[in-house]
Structure formats: C-alpha cells, structure tokens
Structure 1
Amino acid sequence: MVATVLKLRYRVLGNTLARRPWQLVGFILSSLWGLGVLGGLVAGFIALAVFQDLEAATVVAVLGGSLLILGWLVGPIIIAGVDSTVDATRLAPFPLTRRQVMLALAGTGLTGIPGIVTTIAALATLIVWARWPLAAVIAVPAVLAGVLTCVLASRLMAELSGGMGGRRSREIIGTAVLIVLIMTGPILTGIVALLDQAGGDLWTRLQQAADILAWTPLGAAWAVAPSVAAGDAWAALTSAGIAIATLVVLWVVWDRVLEAAVSSPRQRATRAVAAGKLGLFGVMPTGGVGATWARSLSAWLRDPRYLRQLIVIPLFPVLFAFTGGTDGFMFLVSPVLAALVMAAVGYADVSFDGTAFGTTLATGISGRADRLGRLLGAACVGIPLIALIAVATAVFSGDAAHLPAVLGASLGVLLAGYGACAVSSALIVTPVPSPGDSPFKSTPGQNSIMGLLVFVVWAVVLVLSLPAIVPAIVNAVTGEQMWGWIALAAGVVFGAVVVVVGILVGGRTLERTGPDLLVRIKSFPT
C-alpha cells in the first residue's frame, strides 16, 4: 500500500511537470543545484579525509550534521519545502492505518530531491572514515539514522505548522520561529562573548560547540562514527542511544499529531457564544466610530498579522541589550525605534481587511469615523506598549533623567505615525498575507515598489515628529533636564495635532478613494 502511494505521488508529479513547462524548468534547475551541492560536498569530504586528522573530521561531521537537521526542522516554516502532494489529510479517506500513512509520508520525504541529496551526502561521509574501517561500518546506520531524523522532524514540524485541526498552532509556531530568527544575532553574540571569556581561538570554540552538540538530538547520530574512530566505545554507545531515543520520540509525537490532524477539521466554521455576548462590540460606543474602534482593537488583539508586531516590538530593547549592554546609547533610545516601527504597521491598514472592506463601504460610514476608529484601536495597544518600553529601558539603564526626552520622542513618533498612516492607508493598498499564512510566506503580487512605500511613510513620520525629536537630541547632548520635558510636551501636543489633521485629511481622502481601493484589493492574486 505504501508503494502504491509513492507511485501515485510520482505519477502526479510527472503529470504536473508535463502540463507546466516553467515548473519543469524549476524542477530541472533544482535537480542541477542538488547535483552541484553533492559534488562540492564529496570533494570536501575527500580533502578532509586526505589532509585533515580525526579531530577536524569530528568537528566538521558533528557541526555539519547538526546544521542539516536544524535546516530540515525550520525549513517547512520558512519556506514551502515539504511536498504537500501527499499529506495526512488527503490520505485520511483511504483504508490506511496511521502507521502506513506515516511510512508513506516518510517515504515521500526521503525520495524527494532534498531527501535524496541529504541521503547521498550523508553516505558520502563514509569517505572521511575510510581510514578507520570499523568507524566506516558503524557510520552507515548512524548517518541513516541522522537522515531519518531530518525527515521525521521535518514532517512533524510541517504537520504542526499546518494546523493540527486549525490554524492557531501554525500561527503560534510561525511567530515563535520568527522571534527566534530575529534573536539569532543577539543569541550568537552572547554565545561568542561567553566563549571569549573562556578564552581560545575560533577553532577551539568550534570544538567546544561540537563537543556539546554531540550530546544533543541534533548531533548525536553524527557523533557515533567519530567516537568509534577515536576508540571511545562509551561515547559511541551514548550518542547512539540519544539518536535512537530521538527517533522514537519524534515518531511517537508525530503519531499523536497525525491522529489529531485527521480526526478533527482544519478550521472551525462557526463558534457558539452566549446570547448577547458581543465582545468589544458590546463595550465600545455605538455608531461608526465605536464599531470601527471595536473591530480595529479586536484585530490588534487577535489577528496574528498584528500580534506579530506586538510581539516583535518589545524585542528591540532586548536586541540592543544583548549587543551593547543596558548602559549603551542604543538601548536607551530603543523605544524611539520601536515607536517608528509600530507607527508604520498601519500604513496600508485597509489591505488587511481584504475584500471585506466592501462591507465597510456598504455601511456608508464616513471616512472621518473610519479613520478615527482605526486610530483608536491602534492607540489602545500602541501607546501603553511604547510607554511601558520607555519606562522599562530607563529603569534597566539606570538613567531615569532621560526618561521624559525618550518618552516624548517615542510618543511624538508614534502619534505622527498614526496621523500619517490615516492618510497613507486611504491611498495605498498592497498584497498582504492571509490571516493563517506563515510570516515567511511570499505574498503574490508584492513587488519592490510596494515594498519601498513603507520607507516613504517612515520618512514622512520622522519629518512630522521633528518637534519632539530635536529637543530630545538636545537633552541627550547637553544633559539639560528642561529639554527633556520640552520633548515630552512637544511629542504629545504636536503629535495630537498631526493625528487630528491626519483624521480629517485621511477621512476626506478615503471617501474619494474607497471604491478604487476595493477594486485594487480584488485584483490582487491569491
């Protein structure tokens, strides 16, 4: 039955390539790329076997294998790297046991281009261990276990990011990986700093990393052969045990995830609530402003496309704390940078409505009410968040004297951004991800010109917030406390003026451009 599924998979692939010439070209190019990678790896393994000693071979094998598993683990989230021609949901109606489904999915992973390249590359490492015959023999099942770990981890992550019966887990995992990727630089910086304190050159640090990874699920399978070559039977058995335990855990967890995925619907079409429970709509004032306010605030609190911004924004001070310390200048001004990013989130806010923007136009709500409601929803979240970051950075940096200047500049930038976006979002719509999409997914219809528009908005925001930024800079240079309070007052007052002007101008603009925005949104490819 598993062989039948694999045959059907390749028949579907062949028919698809025959009908779509450009996809065939892509398939050929990816195959050539895989052959090129294999050629380079084999050449490197030969050079390693001839010119380097066991210590160098161990470091390369463990670090390279660990990075390989990590790439397979993260790949399904960052890119659409897992072939979805055959998945658990499509196989659910057929008379297959869950074990057969898992074997079929693992088989498709192993027999795809990435799986074939990985398997051949892993077996090519036998060249490195040719000088130690016993290690070369032991390396065969060990590296195959490493390859199987890659496939199982990839399939598990693909199933998790696919939803487990809904899109919520996909959104959570995608956001978590986004945070990890953003913090990769600071984390590596911190690790390097710790290694610097421990002493030693780069090679010593790589050896230390390999020694640690050899006792983890990432590097255990790749550390078996080096341990055998070194004559360390205990280390080899321990690494083999960790590798086998990793496979068992991955298989069991994947089995549970598949059971949940095929026994429940991907999304709930409806959700029952108690009568009269309207959420924020029952709390906010009635009318166009109140309804738009409730809808906007609901989006900021529940839509993952907004929530990701709220999660990433507080990482700015953490980022600068890692790289420059809490006493650095960048850590102190990080609230201003966070406000600048936060200010531009809604520069094309109507785009997130999608075709549902048509219902807004159908209600006949005034442009001014729409602009004010959206701004209030964003401000309910943005202003407390930026103020909290400003206060927290002042406390941790031990420089509370500059808090008024930092807070004034931050609020000035944020309010200027709200005013500017009230106008820009009445003029600009751009393709955006759907609510359940990965944050790394490329959006059809997006181009470089649309991507540059956010920088134009940022430039406008910086110009409009100069009345608050300039006194804050003077405060930082001279240390005069008065300038800090001037910055705070200017940020609030001039920011409020920009907000009012933005609502008036943006509202009038939206009433003129609204139908055209809806037409452009409908024209975006899906």
Structure 2
Amino acid sequence: MVARLFRLRLALLGGGFRGSFGRGLRTALLYLLLAAGAIALAWFPTALLPAGADRAILDTIIGSVVLVAVFLVPFFENRRNLEPRQFAQYPASPGSIGFALLSSAILTWPFLLFALWLAALGVLRPEWAAPGWIAPLALGLAAVLGLCSTRVMSAVSKLIAGVRYAGAVRTVGTVLLVAFLPVAVFAGATAFGPDGRGLVDGLVDILSWTPFGAPFAALGLAAAGDLDAAILRLAIAGGAILLLIAIWIPITWIANQHVERPIGAGVARTGLGWFERFSARPSQVIAARAMTYWARDPRYRVALFAIPIAPIVMIVAFWVAGADPHLLSLLPLPVILLLLGWSQHNDVSMDSTAIWEHVASGTRGRADRAGRLAPVLLIGIPLALIGSSVTVTLLGDWRVLPAVAGMNVAVLLAACASSSIFSALMPYPATRPGDSPFVQPQWSGSGSGLAQTLSMLLALVLAVPPVWFSLTAVVDVSFVQNLWALAFGVGYGAAVLGLCILIGGWIFDRSGPELIAVTQVFD
C-alpha cells in the first residue's frame, strides 16, 4: 500500500507539468517563486538582526506562525488532499491506509516547500550548529509536526463538513483570515511601541511552551547554552506528534466506516457560482441567491457607491465647524457600516420577483431574514475589522483597537437587526429588476419616508449601548476595559441581531401573503 501511494504521489507531483508547454512553464515558474519565497522567509531574520537573543525571538515567532498556518489552513482548504475514505474499497486495513497516507504525504508540493524552508533555516543559522544533534532533531520534529497536523486537520474537516458544507467552511476561513489581519497589524504596532519588548518577550515565552513554537525555541535555548530547557521544548513537540498520531488512527478507521449521504446524480456541482459555496439549507440557499443578486444587480451597486458619500459630507461639515481631526477619524466607518446594514431595510421589495417562492415553499421567516443578511455581513465584517485598524492608525493610539472594532461590529449588527424587522414590516416601492436604478415607481400607500425614518431610528437606538461603552474605553484608555468593550460590542450585537431575526421571521410568517400582494402591486 505504501509503495502504491508513493507512486501515486509522484504522478500527482508531475501532474501540473503535463499538458501544453505553456502550462508546464507556468507551473514551473510558480513553484520556483514559491521556493524563492520559502528561502527568503528563512533569510529575512538574518538580514534584519545579528545572531543572538533578538534573532532567536524572531525565529520563534515566525516559526510559530508558519506551524499554526500549517495546522489551520488544511481544515478550511483541503480539496487537493487524499483522504482515507478514498481508499476504503481497497483490500487494506485502516491502519495500513493511514500509515501509507501519512508517510507518503512527504511527496507533496506544500510539504516539499515547507521542508525547503526548514532546510534553509538550518543552513542560514550557524549558531545552531552546537550541539550538533539539536538542530536536525528540532527541525525534523517541526517537519513531522507539520506533516501530522496537515493530515489530521484535513481529515477532521472532511468528517465534519464533507462535500456539502465544504464551500461554507472555505468561506468561513476566508472571513477569519480577513478578521486576523487587524490583529496582526495591532500586534506588529505594539511590538514596535515603547513597551513592545516586554510584550514580545512574554509572547515568545508563551509560544515556547506550545507545540508550534517549542522546536524553534529549543534551537535558541540550545544556542544560548541552556540544553536542559531545549530538551524540554523538544519533548513538548514530540508529545504533540504522538497525540496527533493517536488522533489520526481512529480518524482513519471512522473515515472508512462512515458513509456520507450521497448527492443526487442529477444535481449540478459546478458552474453554480455562490450556490457551490453554501449548503442546501433554506437560509444558505437564500444567502447564495442574495450574493448573486448583489454581484449582478445594478440597483445594489448604486446603493454601495452612494454609501461613502454621507460620511464624507459629515466630516467636512464637522471639520469646518472646528472639530478635532483626530476624533473625526472615529466617525466615517461607523456611519458607513450603519448605512450598509440599514440598506437592507427594504430588501423584500428589491427581491419582489422571488418572494413568492419563499411563501409558496413554506420557507420559515427566520431563514429568509438570516439569508438576506449574508451579503451585508460578508462585506461589512471584514470592512469593520480592517477599517478599525485604519481608524486607530489615524487616531494615533493602537491601544483602543479592541474598543473601536467592537463598536464598529456592533453598529453593523444593530443596523442589520433593524433591517431584519422593517423589510418584512413596512416594505415600500423600490426600483423594479431590470429598470434604471434611478427610477422610483409610484405608490399610493404609505410613503417610504416613514419606513426609512423608523428603521434608522431603531438602528440608532440599538447602537447606543455599544457605542457608549466603546467611547468610554477610548477616552479612558485601559487594556481590560478595551477588551470588555470588544466583548460587549460583539456579544450585544450578535444577541440583538438574533432576536430581531426571530421577530422579523415571525412577522414574515404571519404576513407572507400580504407581502406578495404588496410587492406584486408595484412589480
């Protein structure tokens, strides 16, 4: 079994070079660039710092980040990984299949690039040469740890998500990656601050006791002469490898015994755009359709282009009035997020040609309410997190990043909560699909002004508690208070949004036929 899988891995290694000459050339250039990037990552600390404690700290941080990425990325992106379930029909025991998959994974491009980076580290760090056995052992443990992490996390993802939810898992991974960017910027800015060295030392000490940072911390400790501490760190890495192998064995057995519910042969799996990335559940299908509308319908694009105008006008007005420019940096992003979430307050009218499908099929109102928020949340949450970093940069104090991020996320969720109620409670005429985005249909019922005013007032009222809590933390800077502001903003916003989705869903369930009648009048 092992020999067969090694031959299969070799064939897969060369698969990208087969076909046309152009494809082979592109593949070769891609892997050459990736190899150069791996070597550059190993060379970067040597160019930045001389040999010593500072370089050891940087190596531990970079190595920990790489190993964490190797551990987490396969859970969200594993489409190209071989899995135990694919070999269940072969006359081999789960143990032999698991061992073959684990050992043959060394012949994959990601692992070869990972091994190249580790080898470059060994070559470019002459201070690791004494004692001679520490460096090969530590780098070897790091390589095996990365190999086992990839196999285990990929298999766990396959068991939990399967084919049906793989697209949703990848979407969540992308959102989490975007959410991590402000944290990385915040950490970098803090490290170069006046108190950064103490925080970095504390972080490295914590990382050295984790399996991700232990191999690299062991190398630095051995170079400094502390051999006993280095051996203890290597023991941590070795224990983590044994734990992953112990998890891998039952996963292999379960994967060969577990049969996923098959998808119908007539169900299309490719070419469906956003529908490939969401599972076959009412709220997620509605979310995929809403994402498709936002990508193709000019009515939504016009609204998105108009949203940034309001904060610009407000900033200019306050600036002319003599407001502090630094404090004005807190204003634009919450206003943009408020308008972005509020823009969904009449989404039933924007979706009038398909609302009858939800009512006729018996779709629960809460599924309709939750699904329609997908475009706003997928745009708004990354915007809130990345924009918070820009805001605190302009403000000049990175210590308030948690409070600012909590405030912005809470404002977005509060606006979405208000829209979840009013899009079912008070729909009013909107531009029909296919018409010019600047055409407004005539309507003899209650005007749009009342619905817009009430929905905006509710959004503002719901946003008051987290905004007040966050502004208090910004004015009186305290690390603990900023963390509480972040936790309160996210928790409060999620609770309010969930409650309003239930209320809006109840209104939708009770007034479904009336909504069809109203939308068909001006459709």
Give the TM-score band, short-chain normalised.
Answer: 0.5 to 0.7
Match of 1:467 in 2: 453
Q: Map 1:211-222 onto structure 2 (within 5 A).
A: 211-222=205-216
Q: Which residue of 375, 378, 385 corresponds with 2:365?
A: 378
1:224 and 2:203 correspond: no
Match of 2:243 in 1: 249
For 1:173 and 1:341, the matched residues in 2 are separated by 27
Would you say the 8 A contact 1:220–1:240 is kept in 2?
yes
**1:296-334, Cα deviation, whole Å (9 max, x unpaired):** x9723999979x9xxxxxxxxxxxxxxxxxxx9999999
Match of 1:24 in 2: 24
For 1:5 and 1:47, the matched residues in 2 are separated by 41
Q: Which residue of 187, 196, 207 corresponds with 1:202?
A: 196
For 1:421 and 1:88, the matched residues in 2 are separated by 55
Q: Map 1:58-457 onto structure 2 (within 5 A).
A: 58-80=56-78, 83-84=80-81, 86-163=82-159, 166=162, 177=173, 180-181=176-177, 184=180, 200-267=194-261, 299-300=282-283, 339-340=341-342, 369-370=356-357, 372=359, 377-379=364-366, 382=369, 410-411=418-419, 414-415=422-423, 419=427
For 2:422 and 2:25, the matched residues in 1 are separated by 47
For 1:500 and 1:330, the matched residues in 2 are separated by 40
For 1:111 and 1:418, the matched residues in 2 are separated by 60
The amino acid across from 2:145 in the alignment is T
For 1:380 and 1:43, the matched residues in 2 are separated by 51
Would you say the 8 A contact 2:46–2:124 is kept in 1?
yes
For 2:428 and 2:104, the matched residues in 1 are separated by 50
Would you say the 8 A contact 2:85–2:255 is kept in 1?
yes
Would you say the 8 A contact 2:129–2:135 is kept in 1?
no
Offset at residue 55 of structure 1 (A): 0.9
Would you say the 8 A contact 2:94–2:256 is kept in 1?
no
Report how many aligned residue pairs link the two structures.
384
Q: How much identity, in percent, do the aligned residues show?
A: 18
Match of 1:390 in 2: none
For 1:135 and 1:345, the matched residues in 2 are separated by 67
Match of 2:35 in 1: 35
Would you say the 8 A contact 1:165–1:266 is kept in 2?
no
Would you say the 8 A contact 1:65–1:218 is kept in 2?
yes
Q: Name the CA shift for 1:3/1:229 in 2 (closer, same or farther; >3 Å).
A: same
1:57 and 2:55 correspond: yes
Offset at residue 31 of structure 1 (A): 0.9
RMSD: 5.7
Q: Name the CA shift for 1:42/1:412 in 2 (closer, same or farther; >3 Å).
A: closer
The amino acid across from 1:300 in the alignment is S
Offset at residue 339 of structure 1 (A): 4.9
Q: Map 1:492-511 onto structure 2 (within 5 A).
A: 503-504=516-517
Offset at residue 230 of structure 1 (A): 1.6
Would you say the 8 A contact 2:218–2:229 is kept in 1?
yes
The amino acid across from 2:31 in the alignment is S
Q: Name the CA shift for 1:6/1:423 in 2 (closer, same or farther; >3 Å).
A: farther
Q: Residue 216 of structure 1: SS of its match in structure 2?
A: coil
Q: Name the CA shift for 1:100/1:71 in 2 (closer, same or farther; >3 Å).
A: same
Would you say the 8 A contact 2:208–2:214 is kept in 1?
yes
Q: Which 10-residue stretch deviates more, 175-184 or 236-245? A: 175-184
For 1:209 and 1:165, the matched residues in 2 are separated by 33
Superposition TM-score, scaled by structure 1 size: 0.56
**1:381-405, Cα deviation, whole Å (9 max, x unpaired):** 749x99xxxxxxxxxxxxxxxx9xx
Offset at residue 151 of structure 1 (A): 1.6
**1:89-136, Cα deviation, whole Å (9 max, x unpaired):** 222223334343234323443222221121121122224542353245
Offset at residue 474 of structure 1 (A): 9.5
Unaligned 5+ segments in structure 2 are 265-279, 292-329, 374-410, 442-447, 463-503
Match of 1:8 in 2: 8
For 1:162 and 1:138, the matched residues in 2 are separated by 36
Offset at residue 338 of structure 1 (A): 8.6
Q: Name the CA shift for 1:372/1:164 in 2 (closer, same or farther; >3 Å).
A: closer
Offset at residue 201 of structure 1 (A): 3.2
Would you say the 8 A contact 2:70–2:149 is kept in 1?
yes
Would you say the 8 A contact 1:34–1:113 is kept in 2?
no
Match of 1:322 in 2: none
Would you say the 8 A contact 1:156–1:250 is kept in 2?
yes
Q: Residue 110 of structure 1: SS of its match in structure 2?
A: coil
Q: Residue 83 of structure 1: SS of its match in structure 2?
A: coil
For 2:100 and 2:24, the matched residues in 1 are separated by 24
Would you say the 8 A contact 2:10–2:107 is kept in 1?
no
For 1:499 and 1:164, the matched residues in 2 are separated by 35
Superposition TM-score, scaled by structure 2 size: 0.56
**1:422-470, Cα deviation, whole Å (9 max, x unpaired):** 988x779xxxxxxxxxxxxxxxxxxxxxxxxxxx89x99x999533356
Q: Name the CA shift for 1:263/1:149 in 2 (closer, same or farther; >3 Å).
A: same
Would you say the 8 A contact 1:65–1:222 is kept in 2?
yes
For 2:287 and 2:156, the matched residues in 1 are separated by 16
**1:58-107, Cα deviation, whole Å (9 max, x unpaired):** 11221111111111122224444x633x4322222233343432343234
For 1:244 and 1:110, the matched residues in 2 are separated by 18
Would you say the 8 A contact 2:76–2:157 is kept in 1?
no
Q: Name the CA shift for 1:213/1:233 in 2 (closer, same or farther; >3 Å).
A: same
Match of 2:386 in 1: none
Q: Residue 131 of structure 1: SS of its match in structure 2?
A: helix
